[in-house]
Amino acid sequence: LVVVNLYPFESTVADATVTWEQAIEVIDIGGPAMLRAAAKNHAHVSVLTAASQYASFLETLAAGGMDLQQRRQLALAAFRHSARYEAAVSQWFGAQLEEESEQLQLTLPQRQRLRYGENPHQPALWYGESQVGWGAARQLQGKQLSFNNLLDLDAALASVQEFPSEQAAAVVVKHTNPCGVATGADLATALQRALAADEMSAFGSVVAVNQLLDAATAAQLAAIFVECVVAPGVTVEALECLARKPNLRLLTLDQAAVAGASGQQLRTILGGVLVQQRDQQPVDRSTWQVVSTAQPDATLLAELDFAWRVVRHVRSNAIVVSRGQRTLGIGAGQMNRVGAAELALAAAGERAQGAILASDGFFPFPDTVHLAAGSGIRALIQPGGSKRDEESIAACNARGLVMICTGRRHFLH
């Protein structure tokens, strides 16, 4: 029997203040060698790498000992553990010495075999760390999370994090797109406003809030059908209220677990992986330019800020119409910007009068401005950068509209 606990390299370098010398000190040399030697000799040796294995090993030992197949399973776990450890060391070294890694190594443990993927005919698995991100979430009730649940939860959380915790906010997501976003004087008000933004789409949705989920907010959720809810915490009274909906998946995830997650985003393509930094830079008003003759006051700037925080989380081409810190219409995933604007404005209807329109990409032509003006839009916010920006600006000036160019695009595919 060989039992080895490797030096805590990963937890040590997770501390941003760790020095080079401190990191080097916790690179285990002898431990991995012993693990690999024992694993290679599994025909005669059992090898343990984690405390979670001890109880079952002792039970098996008391029942007569490990057979060859069981030792092979332990050997496999040891080789995987060693490979993960070496990958962590090489990745840390690479991050210190290189601007970009020449190799991408993923050694994530399997968390869960999912019922299926996006559709029932697609097998699916969930891999991830247990201390950061969704691996650190606590599911307080409800059915097992699905592949689509996790995608929608991730989208909802990213969107609600746009708002500081002292400002109550709620986000309702369907198929990874926000269908209702709002702030409020309290969380119950924020949720009520977000749900009312698109009541039809809210059916079967995923909801994220940025404050402690209380009884008043929970009562609204208990009255409708939603798939999942995520909050930083839940009161006892809210738990009791939602217990009436046993299938509702209720999760808590604290800010520390969110902050510790990687800033990298991976997407697979045929035969490869694309890696980029997540689009999570804070909104920076210092890059904004008021390009219209009409000037926004502080209240209007706050309205524009809200719309801009929402539109970056809508699939491109994306248009958001909002007013009073609440979405009124969202046009998502359209092949042209005018089509997205038509959807958003149609959803807003008469409520578009005096509202804000936000676009995730620039206006290639002034047609979107003309459409917005015809619906009563008061101000527009967009990245700018089109060769025809002047035409869109002129269209705004002709109608007395405010236009802000942010200098930053937010495509989302």
pLDDT tens string 67-83: 999 999 999 999 999 99
- The fourth-level CATH superfamily of domain 285-405 is AICAR transformylase, duplication domain (3.40.140.20)
pLDDT of the residue at 385:
94
- C-alpha to C-alpha distances, 81 to 9, 33, 93, 182, nearest whole angstrom: 13, 12, 19, 45
Helix (H) or strand (E) holding 172: strand 169-174
Instruction: Please identify which residue in the block is written with the tokens 């042209």.
Output: 336
Q: Look at residue 403 and give its three-state secondary structure.
A: strand
Q: How many residues does the chain have?
A: 413
CA–CA distance, 296 with 304 (Å, rounded to integer): 9
CA–CA distance, 176 with 301 (Å, rounded to integer): 27
Considering the candidates 40, 121, 174, 410, report the single residue annotated as catalytic.
Answer: 40
pLDDT tens string 163-188: 999 999 999 999 999 999 999 999 99
**What are the two backbone dihedrals, phi and then psi, of residue 213, each rounded to the nearest 5 degrees?**
-75, 115
Domain residue ranges in the chain: 2-97, 114-259, 285-405
Q: Average pLDDT of 5-34?
A: 92
Inform me whether the pLDDT recorded for 117 exceeds 70: yes
Q: What CATH number has the domain spanning 114-259?
A: 3.40.140.20
Considering the candidates 121, 174, 175, 245, report the single residue annotated as catalytic.
Answer: 175
Q: What's at 408, amino acid-wise?
A: R
- Dihedral over alpha carbons 394, 398, 401, 404 (to 10 degrees): 10
Inform me whether the pLDDT recorded for 155 exceeds 90: yes
Inform me whether the pLDDT recorded for 262 exceeds 80: no
CA–CA distance, 348 with 333 (Å, rounded to integer): 17
Q: Look at residue 109 and give its three-state secondary structure.
A: coil
Q: Look at residue 352 and give its three-state secondary structure.
A: helix
pLDDT of the residue at 25:
95
Q: What's at 351, amino acid-wise?
A: R
Nearest 5°: CA angle at 333, between 133 and 176? 25
Domains 2-97 and 285-405 in one fold: no
Inform me whether the pLDDT recorded for 84 exceeds 70: yes
Residue 109's pLDDT band (cuts 50, 70, 90): confident
pTM here is: 0.87
The fold for domain 2-97 equals Rossmann fold (3.40.50)
Helix count and strand count (H, E) for the chain: 15, 18
198 near 180, Cβ under 8 Å? Answer: yes
Residue 99's pLDDT band (cuts 50, 70, 90): low
Query: How many C-beta neighbours within 10 Å does residue 404 have?
Result: 25
143 is catalytic: no
CA–CA distance, 23 with 43 (Å, rounded to integer): 35
40 is catalytic: yes
Strand pairing category for 2-3 and 264-269:
unpaired
Instruction: Please identify which residue in the block is written with the tokens 């160019």.
Output: 405
Q: Please confirm whether the linkage preceding 177 is cis (ω < 30° from 0).
A: no
Residue 97, exposed/middle/buried by CB under 10 A (0-12, 13-18, 19+)? exposed
The percentage of residues in the chain with a pLDDT greater than 90, rounded to a whole number, is 84
pLDDT tens string 186-227: 999 999 999 999 999 999 999 999 999 999 999 999 999 999
Q: What's at 382, amino acid-wise?
A: Q
Residue 15's pLDDT band (cuts 50, 70, 90): confident
Inform me whether the pLDDT recorded for 261 exceeds 90: no
Inform me whether the pLDDT recorded for 125 exceeds 70: yes
Inform me whether the pLDDT recorded for 91 exceeds 90: no
